Structure formats: structure tokens, C-alpha cells
Amino acid sequence: MIMAAQIKDVLIRQMKETDIDSILDIDKKISGLERAFTYENLFDSLIGGEIACSFVAEVEDHVVGFILASVTYVPEEVTGACMIQILGVHPGYRRQGIASRLIGALADICSSKGIREIRVMVDQHDTNLQGLLDTLDFRRGSIVNYSLALP
């Protein structure tokens, strides 16, 4: 695989089932965890469908980034919104504009389908992702996320 400093052409394309192994590999490099079982239902619902809004970034035929997203019903506005579930870029390819291009591809497909909002939940300590989203004109929404830890 080539290194980030050598990136010339990045191809952004819709995700295919054959990308799953590459995506899991990138996720493991980012998180340090093997969590394929958590992706099974996610992939079934996010690849293809009425609006295919999951993309990968390729450099020289290698997947180096991905975005998994889905269209969801937003009751407070009685409209549809696109929800980013997972965004990941291989650590060796960060700060090359790949995440921005993946989000841009998502925004383009959503706009073409009449979807006017993209949402994402972000860990309060993930300042890198928050900074990226701020740069791309995302703003904090009005929805507050509550969690209940179960025994």
C-alpha cells in the first residue's frame, strides 16, 4: 500500500459488499478492537437500498476510508435526514482531505434525493472529529443524547 505523502488520486465511490474486509481492517486500526459482529446488521441495512449513502475512498485500488450512513425519519420535523453511523480513515491517510471528500459525496447524494440534513453523534471527547465537522459547517443540533447503563 502506498503512503499518504504519495497520494495523487483518491476515488470516492459507493460502497460494495466486497469492501467489508477492508472497512473492518481500517476500523481495527483505528479502534484497536475486532468488532465485526457489531457491523453485521449495519452492513445489511446500509449497503444499497433506496438510497445508497455509504461510500469508500480508494487510493490505487486500496480502500483507505469509509462512511456508513442511512436515511432516517426525523419526527420533530416530519422529514428525512441522513444519519452518519461510522466515519473512518486509515491512520496513514489522515489529514489528506479524505474524510471531507467522503462527507461531500454523502451530501451530494442526499441533496439529489431531497434530503436536507445530515446528522452525526460525536463523543464529547473526540475533538478531532468535532474540529472536522466544524470546518465542514456542521453545527450542534438541538437533540440531546441520554444513555442508561444496564447491568
Q: Using 50, 70 and 90 to split pLDDT, how confident is the model at 80?
A: confident
Q: Using 50, 70 and 90 to split pLDDT, how confident is the model at 74?
A: low
Q: Using N-to-C axis directions, what is the helix angle for 20-31 and 36-46, rounded to 10°?
A: 130
Q: Using 50, 70 and 90 to split pLDDT, how confident is the model at 113?
A: confident
Using CA atoms, how far residue 136 sits from 12, 38, 77, 89, 97, in Å, is 18, 28, 23, 16, 11
Q: Using 50, 70 and 90 to split pLDDT, how confident is the model at 98?
A: very high
- Give me the domains of the chain, ranges plus CATH numbers: 4-135 (3.40.630.30)
* pTM value surpassing 0.85: no
Cα separation, 65 vs 99, in Å, equals 7
Span 73-95, average pLDDT:
82
| Strand stretches in 75-111, DSSP E | 79-89
Give the DSSP H/E element, type plus range, for residue 66. Answer: strand 62-74
For the chain, what is the total number of helices (H) and then of strands (E)?
Answer: 4, 5
pLDDT above 70 for 50: no
19: cell is 469492501
pLDDT above 90 for 1: no
Which are the contacts of 113, defined by CB distance < 8 A and separation ≥ 6? 51, 71
